[in-house]
């Protein structure tokens, strides 16, 4: 029985949709309320039983390494001020020594290339990939749901959500083997960012994957695809000839924090679930709504 123990966090992208905010700050360090996106992803992986955390970073990404390390000055100041709650929060971010690895993607050539950069840390184990900017808000962490499904099928698994026709060209779209009526269904093909006419379904791949290490052999040879980038999904096609793939419809709400609107929605979503923020924020939303309807009339 194979176990998913390792996860890759590709964080080497430029985050151009968030410029100028991402000029010096990694997109994955943007906070949802008070916690950076990358920390949510790492916590999700830890909750799914991941033991080894592999970051594929790039230029201007050192803030991510610093975030997951001690900050002695800050810690001693918090200690001196008796801010134990904040101090404990900071300490809880820390990885077990030796369980985290950073490698660098020297050029942002695409997600497929970023994942391939981590090949030497995976060896021949199945592994997870988590895109921190795909924020998935759920009771049971999305990757945990997928790992549970993996224990049943022991095959490649892609997180799937249904999208409207107008959005199929933004995603990798899967072709289900049969009509996708259950939450775990076999996939016979994947096309990256198809036109509506080419799209085999409305089932879109989102940023959580469990993959077999054989994918690296195909990524090694993978040419650039849509957008001039090495696409992870393009390497699924040759792998599909050898291995099974499943689509997995997770329970939860996916908010695309790579887009501005998605990022704002994620902040509101989390704030409205927080006891310390819900009253003030919902009051504010009501006021804003009132003002915008007055302006429209």
Question: Which residues of this protein are in contact with ligand UTP, per CB under 6 A?
Answer: 10-17, 27-28, 56, 105, 108-111, 113-114, 131-133, 258
Which of 143/180 has CB closer to ligand UTP?
Answer: 143
Q: Are the C-beta atoms of 109 and 94 separated by less than 8 Å?
A: no
| CB 109, min distance to ligand UTP, A | 5
Residues forming a β-bridge with 52: 6
Which residue's CB is nearer to ligand UTP, number 17 or number 186?
Answer: 17
Q: Which is nearer to ligand UTP, 13 or 176 (CB)?
A: 13
Closest CB 296 distance from ligand UTP, rounded Å: 31
Nearest to 107 by CA among 42, 46, 57, 162: 57
Whether omega before 20 lies within 30 degrees of 0, making that bond cis, reads yes
What are the phi and psi torsion angles at 54 (to 5°)? Answer: -120, 115
CB of 56 to ligand UTP, least distance (A): 5
Q: What is the three-class DSSP state of 134?
A: strand
Q: Shortest CA distance to 126 belongs to which of 104, 98, 96, 147?
A: 147
Q: Which of 253, 211, 244, 243 is nearest to 116 (CA)?
A: 211
Task: Output the residue with the shortest Cβ distance to ligand UTP.
Answer: 13
**Residue 75 burial (CB < 10 Å; 0-12/13-18/19+)?**
middle
Name the residue nearer to ligand UTP (CB basis): 26 or 141: 26
Minimum distance from CB of 72 to ligand UTP (Å)? 29
CB of 39 to ligand UTP, least distance (A): 14
Q: State the minimum distance, in angstroms, from the CB of residue 193 to ligand UTP.
A: 11
Nearer to ligand UTP, 109 or 149 (CB): 109
SS3 of residue 260 by DSSP: helix
Q: Residue 133 or residue 155: which is nearer to ligand UTP going by CB? A: 133
Residue 187 near residue 176 (C-beta atoms within 8 A): yes
CB contact at 8 A, 102 and 94: no
Find the shortest distance in angstroms from Cβ 131 to ligand UTP: 4
Q: Regarding beta strands 172-176 and 203-211, do their DSSP bridges make them parallel or antiparallel, or are they unpaired?
A: antiparallel
* 147/205 with CB nearer ligand UTP: 205
């Amino acid at each position: 029985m194979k176990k998913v123990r390792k996860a890759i966090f590709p964080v080497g992208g430029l985050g151009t949709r968030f410029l100028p905010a991402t000029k010096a700050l990694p997109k994955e360090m943007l906070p949802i309320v008070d916690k950076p996106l990358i920390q949510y992803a790492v916590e999700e992986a830890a909750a799914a039983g991941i033991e080894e955390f592999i970051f594929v970073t790039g230029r201007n990404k050192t803030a991510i390494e610093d975030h997951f390390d001690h900050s002695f000055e800050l810690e001693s100041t918090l200690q001196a001020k008796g801010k134990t709650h904040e101090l404990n929060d900071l300490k809880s971010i820390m990885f077990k020594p030796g369980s985290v690895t950073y490698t660098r993607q020297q050029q942002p050539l695409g997600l497929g290339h970023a994942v391939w950069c981590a090949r030497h840390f995976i060896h021949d184990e199945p592994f997870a990939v988590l895109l921190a900017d795909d924020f998935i808000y759920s009771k049971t962490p999305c990757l945990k749901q997928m790992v549970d499904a993996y224990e049943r099928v022991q095959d490649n698994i892609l997180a799937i959500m249904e999208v409207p026709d107008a959005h199929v060209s933004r995603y990798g779209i899967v072709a289900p083997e049969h009509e996708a009526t259950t939450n775990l269904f076999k996939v016979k093909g994947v096309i990256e960012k198809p036109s509506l006419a080419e799209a085999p379904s409305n089932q879109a791949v989102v940023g959580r994957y469990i993959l077999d290490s054989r994918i690296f052999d195909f990524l090694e040879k993978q040419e650039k695809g849509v957008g001039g980038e090495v696409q992870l999904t393009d390497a699924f096609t040759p792998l599909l000839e050898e291995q099974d793939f499943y689509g997995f419809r997770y329970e939860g709400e996916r908010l695309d924090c790579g887009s501005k609107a998605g990022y704002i929605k994620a902040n509101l979503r989390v704030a409205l679930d927080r006891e310390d923020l819900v009253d003030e924020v919902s009051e504010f939303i009501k006021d804003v709504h009132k003002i915008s309807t007055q302006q429209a009339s």
